[in-house]
């Protein structure tokens, strides 16, 4: 483990952030004893972990007043949708707090077609499509769709889809550059029977399961 590295994680709510820190602690406690003997715990509470080598991991909902080498912002789309002012505060304060040469990762589902996260993704997408060289202040776009994971596939012979749902799905065919297995296309359609309201009002941008942007 690298010495004297400051890492911070921001989430939509403090409770969500604490849960993620608990998962980090869970992983640490199950590392080989030789690693834990070399890098022990100096402080361990629900909002921060400090190690004996000078490194630390802290969590919260905004971040100012320090200079982390790595900042991970989770569910930024949800934050931008629920609390636009806090999302703006994260962009103007937390993003700019990252040390020179550090890394910033932003991850979320889309949550609509507007707001801080949407704007960030659109800028990164335009850079990618234009083939422009990224500066240290630009984000690199990574898109992870649900159909990329085989575990979300359903056997076609087990799926019964209503005609009106088939018509709905045909409105949003994937572009030719994306090859989606036919059995993977049935997953979200089957989900309609379990959550009709959410399905009825979903739009293409809301189907992005995970979008992560890295700033180098």
135-189 tens-digit pLDDT: 989 999 998 887 788 787 777 777 777 788 777 777 766 655 555 555 554 455 4
What does 15-57 look like in DSSP terms, one character per residue? HHHHHHHHHHHHHHHTS-HHHHHHS-EEEE-SSEEEETTS-EE
Mean pLDDT of the residues in the chain: 81
Residue of higher predicted confidence among 2 and 111: 111
Question: CATH 3.40.50.300 residue ranges in the chain?
Answer: 6-145+208-215
Give the residue ranges of DSSP H helices in 152-191: 163-170, 182-191
In degrees, to the nearest 5, what angle opens at C-alpha 14 toward C-alphas 23 and 49?
A: 45
Look at residue 108 and tell me whether its pLDDT is greater than 50. yes
- Yes or no: domain 6-145+208-215 corresponds to CATH 3.90.1200.10: no
Q: Which whole number is the average pLDDT over 28-42?
A: 95
Look at residue 196 and tell me whether its pLDDT is greater than 50. no
pLDDT at 184: 52
In degrees, to the nearest 5, what angle opens at C-alpha 64 toward C-alphas 61 and 70?
A: 80
pLDDT at 11: 96
pLDDT at 3: 73
Residue of higher predicted confidence among 26 and 136: 26
pLDDT at 146: 79
Residue of higher predicted confidence among 163 and 48: 48
Look at residue 84 and tell me whether its pLDDT is greater than 60. yes
Residue of higher predicted confidence among 90 and 175: 90
183-193 tens-digit pLDDT: 554 455 444 44
Contact 215, 113 (CB under 8 A): no
């Amino acid at each position: 483990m690298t010495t004297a590295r400051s890492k911070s994680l921001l989430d939509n709510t403090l409770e969500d952030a604490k849960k993620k820190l608990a998962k980090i602690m869970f992983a640490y406690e199950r590392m080989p004893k030789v690693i834990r003997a070399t890098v022990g715990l100096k402080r361990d509470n629900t909002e921060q972990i400090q190690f004996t080598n000078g490194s630390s991991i802290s969590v919260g909902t905004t971040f100012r007043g320090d200079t982390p080498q790595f900042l991970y912002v989770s569910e930024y789309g949800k934050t931008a949708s629920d609390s636009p002012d806090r999302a703006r505060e994260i962009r103007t304060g937390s993003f700019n707090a990252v040390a020179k040469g550090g890394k910033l990762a932003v991850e979320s589902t889309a949550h609509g077609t507007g707001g801080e996260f949407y704007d960030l993704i659109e800028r990164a997408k335009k850079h990618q499509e234009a083939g422009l060289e990224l500066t240290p202040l630009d984000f690199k776009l990574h898109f992870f769709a649900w159909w990329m994971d085989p575990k979300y596939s359903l056997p076609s012979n087990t799926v019964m889809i209503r005609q009106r749902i088939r018509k709905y799905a045909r409105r949003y065919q994937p572009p030719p550059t994306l090859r989606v297995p036919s059995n993977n296309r049935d997953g979200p359609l089957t989900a309609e029977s379990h959550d009709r309201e959410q399905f009825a009002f979903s739009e293409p941008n809301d189907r992005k399961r995970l979008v992560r942007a890295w700033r180098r």
